[in-house]
Amino acid sequence: MSELISITGLEKTYVSKSEKLTVLKDLDFKLIEGHSAVIIGESGSGKSTFLNILGGLDSATAGIVQAGPYVVSELDEDGLAAYRSHFLGFVFQFHYLLKNFTALENVFLPAYMAGVSRRAAMEKASLLLSDVGLSSRMDHLPSELSGGERQRVAVARSLVNDPELILADEPTGNLDPANAALIGDMLFSMAERYRKTLVLVTHDRTLAEKGEFLYNIRDGHFTCDRTPCREQEPGTL
């Protein structure tokens, strides 16, 4: 298998009138396709900033960010839109479902908007919702679903365009412990079933332990919390 993510010399600095704050400092990160990595850290440690830069939602101050064939740090707005649409799937702390659309429609729409035929997009959305245990809830609006069910819809939606890479930002942070455990297990099992690479950030140590490779972010730097990343295979720092 080949290297899917390669990040070198990543830095992110925020500048305001009164201060200059560097949250990421000369970070290197690599991950081979088909594996999962978890980044753990306290609130404000920079873990979400790292994920947003990898996802093309924020820009780096310095460094090279490459994911598959995309040199993310060099893409223009059109390139970033294509990268996010075709290469990535996102799962956020909040589900961001469209409130006037059913669960099925929420999963269907990203595929349809990416050019997939209506029939094929509907079939794929139905399959994914069945895979996350919502075959009987497809026609329900988000307001008619529980918090855990809404997040399961978000997991299904992240996979509908068959992305290479799933990025999850505190995906269980808004859930009770039982649903948090369910969604955590589901994310990793779905990534494995569909052979996706997964990068997840969290402050929840229980969720973090589910990943193959575990990194801690502190003072703008990564440290390794597992032997595999210390041995630099397949994650490396």
Residue 228's pLDDT band (cuts 50, 70, 90)? low
* Joined tokens for residue 170: 């505190």
What is the C-alpha to C-alpha distance for residues 61 and 196, in angstroms, rounded to an integer?
A: 28
* Joined tokens for residue 139: 């026609």
Average pLDDT, the chain: 88
Residue 225's pLDDT band (cuts 50, 70, 90)? low
pLDDT at 49 over 80: yes
Q: Say how many C-beta atoms besides its own lie within 10 A of residue 12's C-beta.
A: 22
pLDDT at 144 over 90: yes
Query: Environment class of residue 55 by beta-carbon count within 10 Å: exposed (0-12), middle (13-18) or buried (19+)?
Result: buried
pLDDT of amino acid 95: 83
pLDDT tens per residue, range 151-203 = 999 999 999 999 999 999 989 888 888 888 989 999 999 999 999 999 999 98
Note the pTM of the prediction, 2 decimals.
0.88
pLDDT of amino acid 235: 41
Q: Taking residues 78-105, what's their average pLDDT? A: 92
Residue 18's pLDDT band (cuts 50, 70, 90)? confident
